[in-house]
Each structure stands twice: as structure tokens, then as C-alpha cells.
């Protein structure tokens, strides 16, 4: 029996501070893989403090983004920012009465930096790190038993005086809105590669951003790539559904083939699995079951994996993703139903009649995969 599916929860929101443009995408992708669906990237301490101080403010519904403000689940801080070391930012954060309890995870590039940050009572993760190490460090940093920051631990690291900045600089240079605006500007100018890079940066920082997905769909329509147009239209529709905008999702789905528009979540799961994004695929299948796509979870997973080039590996990666998301019982049940099968052993007569396949290794491989697929599908339908 599968574990009960949890109710929809607010996606984890991370404020990521780093001045190293070359490592930003790698770190943000790692955070996203660890379940942090929305990552706001800033490069200096004053911008970060101003962002965290800002009150919640309404935004246009069509933008499909969460409101700005201090509703951050975790601050991930590189050891060096644009305006100085991370400890200068941490000193400023500890000075704020309403912000000093914010969970903080520091990234360190050397053992010496890591020791200095740990001495101040911080949770520290050294580079290079594995995804499992990142997940564990983030979990510890956000634990209810964490201690608030103390300004005396960072007293010798005060923020340097800052020159006056323009209005744009005060907002920071690497926000999601900035990248989206850049994407639109490049798209209007016909600069498709630059537009694609900007929109992908938006999706790196906020997975469910329908405007960026629609921008990519429009971009690939201009480029004449119908398959990618459908991919990003599907992603935009699913993003709208997750944000509660069912009417807009329905409107976007009208531009998709009927087989996709009727099962948006499960279609998104199949697409994510093809892209190698196992956790995103698992989340989509859970949404499909929660919203009543009409099929049990094991059938959705079996159908998706059987369309992959390597069904067994796809199933194993999905089961691991469910386990990492906390659905241990579900992962165990899926492994039992879909992976623990006994291959059919051909009889002696069948061996002699099919021995001609040995002369055609490519055909033999196709037959083997087909036999495996039929066996797993038969077992999945039996439940």
C-alpha cells in the first residue's frame, strides 16, 4: 500500500548570495535538485538585507511569481560576495532583530574558510559537494533547533562603506525579474540565443515561471522547432496549474495536442523523465495522482518508464527520487511492483528457433528490450 500523499505545500524559497557568475548556475541547479524550487540570486550584502527587510507586496497575477519580501526558507551564502566576505553580510543580518533567526547555510571553498564560519556557529558546506551532502546540510540549517545569529560572533567584520548606487543597482543585478526582462528585450531584437539563455536563467531560479516558459515557446516557434514549442507550452500550463490559475492553464493547453492537454501533469512527468530530471518527474506524477488524472501512481510511472530508452534505469531513478522526497513507503512499493520481476527463460525449443538472432546483434537487442518491456507492463497492470 502506498503512503498517503501529502497536501500541497509552499515550495521552498532560497536567497542565494554569490558574486561568482561562473558557479551560479551550478549551485542553483543543485539547490533546485534538493527541492528548493525558487532561488533568488543577489550578489552583495546591502541588496540582500534590503530584500529581506522588504514587506510582503502584491504583484501582478500574470507574472506568476511569489511576492517579494522576507518569506525566505533558507539563505545560502557563498564565502565571498561582490562587496566583501560573507561574514560582513552575516554581521549585518545578525544586527537585524527580525532577521537574525533566518536559516543560513554557508558555502566554503577551503578548509580554513569552513573552520572560520563554523566557529561562528554556522552550518557550512565545503566545495565540491555532492547532492546528498547539500540536502543534509540544508536540512540541518533549517532545523527548528538552530540557534539565531549573534552579532558578537561577527563584530570584527563590519560592512564597508558603499558608494551611492543607481536605482537598478540597488535592486541587485541578478534577480529573476532582471533576467526575464533581458529575455524579452533579446526576443524583441531577434537575438534568439541570448533570449534563450536569459529565459533559462529565470527557470533555473524559479522552476514554475509560466512567463519564461511562454517566452521560450515563442522563441522556438520563431526558430521553427515545434517539439520544443510543445514542451514549453506544457511547462507553462503546468506552472499555471501549480499556482492556482486553472483558467490560464486551460487556455494554454488548447495549443497542445489532445493526448497531452488531457493529462497535463502526467505528460509533464514523462517529459521531465526524458530530460533526466527525476525529482521533477516524481513531483509531477504525485500532482497527477493528487489532482485525479484517473490512474494509480504505479501505472503512471510504468507508462512513463516504458517510453524511455532504458526502462529499468528510469524506474530505479524515479524510485530513488520518491525516496529522497520522503515517500519511502511509496518508493518501496514501486520497487516491489515494477523492478522485482523474474525474466522469462526461453525453453530449449525456443532457443534453437531463435538462435538466428545471434547473427544480428542489433535485432537481438531490440527483441530483448521488447520482451523486458512487455514483462514489466504486464506486471504493472496486474496491480
Predicted confidence (pLDDT) per residue in 185-194, tens digit: 999 999 999 8
Cis peptide bond prior to 128, omega within 30° of 0: yes
SS3 360: coil
DSSP 8-state symbol, 128: S
How many angstroms separate the CA atoms of 315 and 335, rounded? 8
How many angstroms separate the CA atoms of 81 and 92, rounded? 13
R_g of the chain computed on alpha carbons: 24
Q: Tell me what percent of the residues of the chain surpass a pLDDT of 90.
A: 12
CATH superfamily name and code, 175-262: Tetratricopeptide repeat domain (1.25.40.10)
Predicted confidence (pLDDT) per residue in 18-59, tens digit: 876 656 777 877 887 777 778 888 888 888 888 887 754 443
How many angstroms separate the CA atoms of 307 and 329, rounded? 25
Parts of the chain belonging to CATH 3.40.50.2300 = 13-155
DSSP 8-state symbol, 349: H
pTM: 0.54
**What would the grid cell of residue 250 be?**
486551460
Strand partners, 126: 108
| Predicted local distance difference test score (pLDDT) of residue 232 | 94
Query: Residues 6 or more apart from 291 whose CB is under 8 A from it?
Result: 241, 265
**What would the grid cell of residue 175 be?**
534577480
**How far is CA 249 from each of CA 37, 205, 234, 254, 259, rounded to the nearest angstrom?**
20, 21, 9, 9, 15
SS3 9: coil
Parts of the chain belonging to CATH 1.25.40.10 = 175-262
Predicted confidence (pLDDT) per residue in 277-336, tens digit: 888 888 888 888 887 656 788 888 888 887 777 778 888 888 888 888 788 888 888 888
How many angstroms separate the CA atoms of 254 and 43, rounded? 40
Task: Classify domain 13-155 at the CATH class level.
Answer: alpha beta
Q: Which of 71, 22, 62 lies closest to 43, judged by CA?
A: 22
Amino acid at each position: 500500500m502506498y503512503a498517503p500523499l501529502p497536501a500541497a505545500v509552499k515550495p521552498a524559497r532560497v536567497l542565494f548570495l554569490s558574486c561568482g557568475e561562473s558557479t551560479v548556475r551550478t549551485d542553483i541547479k543543485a539547490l533546485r535538485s534538493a527541492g528548493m524550487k525558487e532561488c533568488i540570486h543577489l550578489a552583495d550584502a546591502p541588496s540582500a538585507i534590503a530584500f529581506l527587510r522588504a514587506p510582503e507586496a502584491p504583484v501582478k497575477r500574470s507574472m506568476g511569481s511569489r511576492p517579494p519580501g522576507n518569506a525566505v526558507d533558507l539563505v545560502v551564502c557563498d564565502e565571498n560576495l561582490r562587496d566583501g566576505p560573507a561574514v560582513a553580510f552575516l554581521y549585518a543580518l545578525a544586527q537585524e532583530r527580525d532577521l537574525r533567526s533566518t536559516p543560513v547555510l554557508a558555502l566554503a571553498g577551503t578548509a580554513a574558510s569552513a573552520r572560520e564560519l563554523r566557529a561562528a556557529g554556522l552550518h557550512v558546506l565545503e566545495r565540491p559537494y555532492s547532492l546528498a551532502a547539500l540536502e543534509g546540510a540544508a536540512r540541518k540549517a533549517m532545523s527548528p533547533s538552530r540557534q539565531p545569529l549573534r552579532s558578537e560572533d561577527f563584530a570584527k567584520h563590519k560592512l564597508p562603506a558603499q558608494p551611492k548606487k543607481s536605482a537598478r543597482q540597488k535592486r541587485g543585478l541578478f534577480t529573476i525579474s532582471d533576467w526575464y526582462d533581458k529575455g524579452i528585450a533579446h526576443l524583441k531584437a531577434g537575438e534568439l540565443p541570448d533570449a534563450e539563455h536569459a529565459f533559462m536563467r529565470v527557470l533555473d531560479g524559479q522552476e514554475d515561471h509560466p512567463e519564461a516558459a511562454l517566452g521560450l515557446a515563442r522563441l522556438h516557434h520563431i526558430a521553427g522547432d515545434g517539439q520544443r514549442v510543445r514542451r514549453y507550452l506544457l511547462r507553462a500550463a503546468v506552472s499555471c496549474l501549480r499556482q492556482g490559475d486553472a483558467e490560464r492553464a486551460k487556455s494554454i493547453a488548447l495549443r497542445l495536442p489532445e493526448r497531452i492537454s488531457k493529462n497535463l501533469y502526467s505528460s509533464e512527468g514523462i517529459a521531465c523523465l526524458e530530460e533526466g530530471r527525476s525529482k521533477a518527474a516524481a513531483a509531477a506524477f504525485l500532482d497527477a495522482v493528487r489532482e485525479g488524472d484517473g490512474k494509480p501512481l504505479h501505472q503512471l510511472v510504468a507508462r512513463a518508464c516504458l517510453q524511455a530508452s532504458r526502462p529499468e534505469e528510469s524506474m530505479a531513478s524515479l524510485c530513488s527520487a520518491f525516496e529522497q522526497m520522503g515517500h519511502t513507503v511509496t518508493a518501496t512499493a514501486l520497487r516491489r511492483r515494477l523492478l522485482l520481476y523474474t525474466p522469462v527463460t526461453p525453453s530449449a525449443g525456443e532457443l534453437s528457433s531463435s538462435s538466428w538472432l545471434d547473427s544480428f546483434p542489433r535485432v537481438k537487442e531490440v527483441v530483448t528490450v521488447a520482451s523486458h518491456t512487455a514483462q514489466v507492463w504486464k506486471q504493472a497492470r496486474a496491480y
